[in-house]
Amino acid sequence: VMRLWGMSQWIMWEVSALFENIGTVQDGMATLSLPRQIEDSPEAKPLAIDRGEIVFDHIRFHYGKGSGVIDDLSLHIRPGEKIGLIGPSGAGKSTLVNLLLRFFELEGGAIRIDGQDIADVTQESLRAKIGMVTQDTSLLHRSVRDNLLYGRPDATDDMAWQAAKQAHVAEFIESLRDIHGRRGFEAHVGERGVKLSGGQRQRLAIARVMLKDAPILILDEATSALDSDVEAAIQENLDQLMRGKTVIAIAHRLSTIAAMDRLVVMEQGRIVEQGSHAELIRQNGLYARLWRRQSGGFLEAATTPSSAHEA
């Protein structure tokens, strides 16, 4: 079945930008490798972040049977740099960020954050320092409050409301009532709780990451399930959240990441192009083609970002 879908990753990318859930459908059909339990080494120390530099140093990884290969990939992300990661569906973008979180073990090379190999730090401290929103958020079968405070248990209700407002999900939370009559923050969501739409779950995940306020931020199709007007409203708050943090943002819609410090284009587990929006447009390669296609009415109209670097 993967053969069929794999015929043209390019077509997949374009189609999945139109039908944004197809990534999940595709995942459902692939043979998925689930993360194995990775043990901390006995000498593991907590990760200490002072600047937020991330180095992918000649990393290699595959899921098995030759599928999903990351092949000798190196990327040096400066402290506070905002990276926009782009590439066709299946290029390995999500794999790369999953490796940064150490959900899977590398087969070669190393990933270092502020000089510390992530294999030498505790996984708990690693994940505590990274805020991540993915395309498909699953919620704990717990109260809305527990779901929001997950990354920051000491936060007050005031702080949680603030984050919910920034993620444009506060009104929705106020309207919630579960089958036991619990309302708002007390209402239980998740599998056996109130069923939420993909967009509602995604907004809760965004509120969670705003509350967590970690020094490294990963946005993997973080606004893919939102209407474009809601997305635009939240984007401003996300931009604010990004300040002072090291960010990796993945998006199909190029207009949402074109203004990042550096765009990195991946294809088949490799980096094939990188530079600012202006530089990549001038290079007239893969990115430029995609930009023209997306701004030419094939997808939605994309405007040239005003803050894009004109180096």
Footprint on this chain of ligand ADP (rule: CB under 6 A): 30, 32-33, 63, 67-68, 87, 89-95
CB of 16 to ligand ADP, least distance (A): 8
Q: Which stretch binds Mg ion (CB under 5 A): 55-63, 87-95, 142-150, 263-271?
A: 87-95
91, interface contact from Mg ion, ligand ADP, none, CB < 5-8 Å by kind: ligand ADP
240, interface contact from ligand ADP, Mg ion, none, CB < 5-8 Å by kind: none
Among 16, 94, 98, 274, binds Mg ion (CB under 5 A): 94
Closer of 93 and 188 to Mg ion (Cβ): 93
CA-CA distance, 264 to 266, in Å (whole number)?
6
Place of tokens 């701004």: 295
Sheet holding 82-86, edge to edge: 130-133, 216-220, 246-250, 82-86, 262-267, 270-275
Q: In 115-225, which ranges are E strands?
A: 116-117, 130-133, 216-220
CB of 202 to ligand ADP, least distance (A): 16
Quick one: tokens of 199?
Answer: 């967009």
68, interface contact from ligand ADP, Mg ion, none, CB < 5-8 Å by kind: ligand ADP
Quick one: tokens of 273?
Answer: 């192009």
Q: SS3 sequence, 181-210?
A: CCEHHHCEECCCCECCCHHHHHHHHHHHHH
98-157 residues in contact with Mg ion (CB under 5 A) are none
212, interface contact from Mg ion, ligand ADP, none, CB < 5-8 Å by kind: none
Rule CB under 5 A: say whether 256 interacts with Mg ion.
no
CB of 121 to Mg ion, least distance (A): 25
Closer of 196 and 248 to ligand ADP (Cβ): 248
CB of 31 to ligand ADP, least distance (A): 6
Residues 204, 137 contacting (CB under 8 angstroms): yes
Quick one: tokens of 293?
Answer: 């296609």
Query: Any idea what DSSP says for residue 241?
Result: H
CA-CA distance, 249 to 60, in Å (whole number)?
21
CA-CA distance, 223 to 250, in Å (whole number)?
10
Residues 77, 54 contacting (CB under 8 angstroms): yes
Q: Which stretch binds Mg ion (CB under 5 A): 39-47, 70-78, 88-96, 291-299?
A: 88-96
Q: Which stretch binds Mg ion (CB under 5 A): 57-65, 93-101, 196-204, 261-269?
A: 93-101
The CA-atom distances, in angstroms, between 188 and each of 101, 137, 164 are 28, 16, 16
CB of 54 to Mg ion, least distance (A): 18
* Site residues, Mg ion (CB under 5 A): 93-94
